[in-house]
Amino acid sequence: MAEVKKMRSEASTSGGGGGGERGESVVGDVGRRKSTCGYCKSGAYTSVSHGLWAHSLTVDDYQALLDRGWRRSGCFLYKPDMEKTCCPSYTIRLKAGDFVPSKEQVRVSKKMQRFLNHTLDVTTRSTTDKPTDELKTSVASCSSEHNSEKNSTTIDSSKGDGKDRDKTGQYVHLLSDQVDKTVDLCVKCGELPANIQLPKASVKKVTPAKRKLQAENSEELMFSCNVAFQIIATIRRVKKDAEHVKSVEHGFGGDKDFPDLSPQKTAEILASHLNQLAESHGLSVRACNGHINFYSAMNQVDLVEVGRSTVSKTSLPATGANDRIVKKNSGGCGGQKRRIEIRLNRSSFDKEEYYLYRKYQLKVHNDTPEHVTESSYKRFLVDTPLVYVSPNDDGSVPPCGFGSFHQQYVLDGKLIAVGVIDILPKCLSSKYLFWDPDLAFLSLGKYSALQEIKCVQENQVHCPMLQYYYLGYYIHSCSKMRYKAAYRPSELLCPLRYQWVPYDIAKPLLDRKKYVVLSDYATLRNEDLSPLNLTDGHMEEQPNEFDQETTNDVCMHDDEMAELDSDSSDVESDSDVGASATAVPEDADLGNILIGIRGHRPRYKDLQHAFDPSQRKFLETQLERYVKAVGTELSKKMVYTVG
């Protein structure tokens, strides 16, 4: 364990260097690992045939490791023991140039385009808490009331007024509830202090007279909430009491923890979380002098009959908080088009990314706040051993270079998703994706996968060798992981001979047995294989799984949620490994393995005389296992650290 922590402290977030233009690979052996399975949830263990800690790793060597079934989690490299694990994990890839999108994938692209054009009805798509369509009608009724006053239109509302007041009151009540839930979320995310009883929100309808005074850029102020003032007053009172008794029994450290917190800052935090919910119902939300204000983006409401409370669909255009110009065309959508940008940055820590990751983990994966820390985030998704390779003009490196990247998806200036990827000589390898849970209806997992495939296609023009899209591990015995095969035509890596086999050939074999030497498919197709045992928690694949519309997309890179963290794993002893694990390739040459010791890089054959017989036997056992795991060629190129 101390060895792993020492390696971790030496790893760099930007990759190592030295040993030539593309650097050198320096790895340390952390032995065989066991970790609780994150897929079948059966309490079984997932064995890892080998674990390495990479101090630095060239993109060429990592490409070769991927093609032998390895993956990385931060600086930790791991490869499942396919014969022992309860859920065999096959590396899956797609040749981007041959990709043919399915109807579902086309729908995802069109859905995003409709959202950007304000023509997508998001009220029935979002999985987040939201008011009902009936409450949406009450918003229109409020706007109708104001528009009627402006146009001096007389409407007989003797029966309708009461209904509208009831609906408006119901909408105000649920808006208040949404603000309370947002406050709770901010507490979980660490944006507001915990262990304090914060006040409940009260959203109030703004009177028509005040609306006219507060009207801004053709928008109308409809509702307002002053909970930010109450929150700050509560925090200051608790801080004052704590200082008075010289204790921290309330669990809050005052200004030391939140140096810039004020009513305006608090309102801005809450408004940023509420914005997507509000805009999906024809409102925009902004913080103004410590108040949370909800504005109507509607200048004209069609076919509103207050007495009957009926509203046409075109009367409620969805408008983003950054859209300030609203069209008055009664027959079309209102507001400017939304704009989404995709930015590619080299892997580094970004506070905004971390806050989005934290929100995602808490809401989508139900993680506890104490487990979603900056250090765990950095270790998992920021730290990388890959040595960055700068772009060149000879067609061997794309314009972005090779290395580890964070692909940011920015909607109207707001970060909504981050794809963590590695760009290597032959492929783009997806590691993880996290996104804003408020936008689950956009299927950002599927959308990002399509964008990553497109990235490969675009970079292939500059770097012809860059042809493939690696989706991580495919687990046929885990139903939620089978979605990866929907990106066609895909291939699976044979776990024994490391040959690529078309998925359509591999699928019927995997239907009958969990672990299969896929390169033997010509023989296996004619064998009577025993059926897959599904009694241990595995689920059958649903017939039309990939054609079903989902509101909460399975994360495109969800395989990494079963991260094999060295700190929580068990190390197998050599006696647990068995003879098969130490069987080495016939062409293995232990003498030519590069050994890293005390800053030097000798071959083992030049060093073995320095060890006594018992030390030599132990080291050679490790080296044999190492050669079997990484292959003979890589064992001659990478530096194997000792001590």
The closest alpha carbon to 57, from 21, 20, 17, belongs to 17
Residue 562 confidence (pLDDT) above 80: no
Residue 556 confidence (pLDDT) above 60: no
Q: Tens digit of pLDDT for each residue in 339-379?
A: 999 999 999 999 999 999 999 999 999 888 889 999 999 99
Distance of CA 270 to the CA centre of its chain: 22
Q: Tens digit of pLDDT for each residue in 419-442?
A: 999 999 999 999 999 999 999 999
Would you call 456 helix, strand, or coil by DSSP?
helix
The answer to whether 118 and 334 have CB atoms below 8 angstroms apart is yes
CA dist., res. 464 & res. 478, Å (int): 35
Please name the amino acid found at residue 633: E
Q: Tens digit of pLDDT for each residue in 89-121?
A: 999 999 999 999 999 999 999 999 999 998 887
Model-wide pTM > 0.75: no
pLDDT at residue 50, as a whole number: 79
Would you call 421 helix, strand, or coil by DSSP?
strand
Domain ranges of the chain: 2-89+103-109+339-571, 131-315, 574-641
The answer to whether 30 and 55 have CB atoms below 8 angstroms apart is no
Q: Tens digit of pLDDT for each residue in 267-288?
A: 988 988 887 666 666 778 888 8
Would you call 395 helix, strand, or coil by DSSP?
coil
Q: Tens digit of pLDDT for each residue in 441-450?
A: 999 999 999 9
CA dist., res. 297 & res. 336, Å (int): 11
The closest alpha carbon to 138, from 292, 315, 329, 276, belongs to 315
The answer to whether 285 and 292 have CB atoms below 8 angstroms apart is yes
Where is average pLDDT lowest: 94-98, 164-168, 334-338, 539-543? Answer: 539-543
291: phi then psi, degrees, rounded to nearest 5:
-95, 150
Place of tokens 């005074």: 213
In Å, how far are 32, 349, 536, 566, 635 from 78, measured between CA atoms? 9, 23, 25, 10, 16
Average pLDDT for residues 622-626, to the nearest whole number? 90
Residue 575 confidence (pLDDT) above 90: no
pLDDT at residue 123, as a whole number: 57
How big is the chain, counted in residues? 643
**First and final C-alpha spacing in the chain:** 14
Residue 558 confidence (pLDDT) above 80: no
In Å, how far are 33, 79, 273, 383 from 73, measured between CA atoms? 14, 11, 30, 9
pLDDT at residue 54, as a whole number: 95
CA dist., res. 406 & res. 107, Å (int): 26
Residue-by-residue DSSP string for 567-597: GG-EEPPHHHH-HHHH---TT--GGG-EEEB
Q: Which helix (H) or strand (E) holds 33?
A: strand 26-36
Residue 146 confidence (pLDDT) above 60: no
pLDDT grade for 194, boundaries at 50, 70 and 90: confident
Residue 185 confidence (pLDDT) above 70: yes
Strand order in the sheet with 90-95: 340-346, 403-411, 414-423, 427-435, 468-474, 90-95, 490-493, 500-502
Non-local (6+) Cβ contacts of 126 within 8 A are 277, 280, 438, 439, 440, 441, 551
pLDDT at residue 584, as a whole number: 55
pLDDT at residue 166, as a whole number: 67
